[in-house]
Amino acid sequence: MDTLKLYLPLCWLKVNPLDLPKSVTFLKQNFWFYFIVELFIQANMIDPSEAFFEVIVETTLTFSFVWLILFLNKTTHLYVQIISAVLLCENVIAFFGVPIVIWLTVSEDILSYYLMGFLILWDFVLITYIIKKVLSINTAASMTISFFYFMMTYAGAYALTLLLF
């Protein structure tokens, strides 16, 4: 719980991800929460077997993307804390997103679409912030890398699922 309190301000851009502690236990907890929530969301939109495959691919791509940018930056020693930061941010967004996805599916109210758009934008801002701090680059470059992150993880997983199912 103490580690969560240290990581949570990251979702409000109030802490540098490089200053956060390494914790394999926290990473494992984040991973399982991320996996289960993503599976829940996907299984409500597509066939459960496709959803399971897509979440595995999405998770693998997320872990791989973070490792790749750290490898290219020669900072792989930061992997545990940075992947924990990314997963925590994704989990916070998912925590707020699950009820909105349910609301969106049930009512298709325009406000639910706006709120979902806000959450997607917030997620993009958080990933951009993490990448900017980790790689010590400007905002435009970190936004570009964030765009590739989202394309690789979400669109990539979706495309692979379409190809195989």
**Helices 139-150 & 110-135 angle (0-180, nearest 10):** 120
The predicted structure's pLDDT at residue 34: 94
Answer whether residue 134 shows pLDDT above 90.
Answer: yes
The alpha helices in the chain, defined as continuous H runs, are 2-7, 24-43, 48-72, 79-107, 110-135, 139-150, 156-164
Collapsed DSSP state (helix, strand, coil) of residue 45: coil
At residue 102 the predicted structure's pLDDT band, cuts being 50, 70 and 90, is confident
Distance CA 129, CA 20 (A): 14
Q: What is the mean pLDDT of the chain?
A: 94
CB count in 10 Å sphere of residue 17: 22
Give the SS3 label for residue 147.
helix
Packing angle of the helix pair 79-107, 110-135 (nearest 10 deg): 170
Provide the residue ranges of all domains of the chain, joining segments of one domain with +: 21-93+121-164
- How distant, in Å, are the alpha carbons of 49, 53, 135, 141, 147 from that of 159? 15, 12, 28, 25, 16
Each residue's pLDDT tens digit, 36-79? 999 988 887 888 889 999 999 999 999 999 999 999 999 999 99
